[in-house]
Chains A and B, each alone.
Chain A
Amino acid sequence: DIQMTQSPSSLSASVGDRVTITCRAGQSISIFLHWYQQKPGKAPRLLIYAASLLQSGVPSRFSGSGSGTDFTLTISSLQPEDFATYYCQQTYTLPPWTFGQGTKVE
């Protein structure tokens, strides 16, 4: 199984801050990396797919980058509605398609 490691596990930020979350894969996964946002009591929401493609309806302050083993999710200017937990996920080749452990932005 491909291990996905996110850092940090949590971070404290303020409105207007630039926030960066990293995700490292245990082996090269090309661009088969996606980012989800989850708010308490809600289902996850797809933000970024294929490492850098913004899902329809997602604000442009969210961006993703990386390929191979190292990936980054950036929020350019944190908004009040962005306080949530963020997960990366790999879907490289056959299952299991693993998630990172999550990063809580508070």
Chain B
Amino acid sequence: EVQLVESGGGFVQPGGSLRLSCVASGFTFSTYEMNWVRQAPGKGLEWISYISDNGNSIHYADSVKGRFTISRDNAKNTLYLQMRSLRVDDTALYYCARDINKIPRAFEYWGPGTLVAVSS
């Protein structure tokens, strides 16, 4: 059974940092592209970052570019999101999502999410 479990969320002041993790199981993690998607309270879904299976290709939404860094450790079956210079509008539930590995890509599996709250 495919499972994705995020962790690392919490309460942080503006300007602070957090590192989110997403541990994958039930599939060969190293062969799948991965994404982070967030959802602010009561709002819609926002894609924020993508990483290829080997980590060589990375993309970010403009809203997080230069502040967030996506990475992965295929030996540990873990996806990361390093978040720096956090702002109040980064407050959201952060999901990791596995690619469907077909064309066109879609987000086939999602974790339950981890909540990041940025406030002074």
Contacts and interface: CB of A to CB of B under 8 A. Distances in A.
A34 interface: yes
A87 B113 CA distance: 17
Contact of B47 (A46, A92, A98, A100): A98
- The CB with the most chain A CB atoms within 10 A, among B45, B62, B104, B105, is that of B104
Q: Which bracket fits the contact residues of B?
A: 20 to 34
Contacts, number: 65
B47 A43 contact: no
Interface in A18-39: 30-32, 34, 36, 38
Interface residues of A, number: 27
Contact of B110 (A45, A49, A55, A94): A45
B107 interface: yes
A89 interface: yes
B58 to A, nearest CB: 10
A65 interface: no
Contacts of A38: 45
A96 B62 CA distance: 8
Given A43-B113, A49-B100, A100-B44, A91 B61 contact: no
Contact of B61 (A32, A87, A96): A96
Contacts of B59: 94-96
B55 interface: no
14 contacts: A31-B104, A42-B112, A43-B113, A44-B95, A44-B107, A44-B110, A46-B106, A46-B107, A49-B100, A50-B104, A92-B104, A95-B47, A95-B50, A102-B44
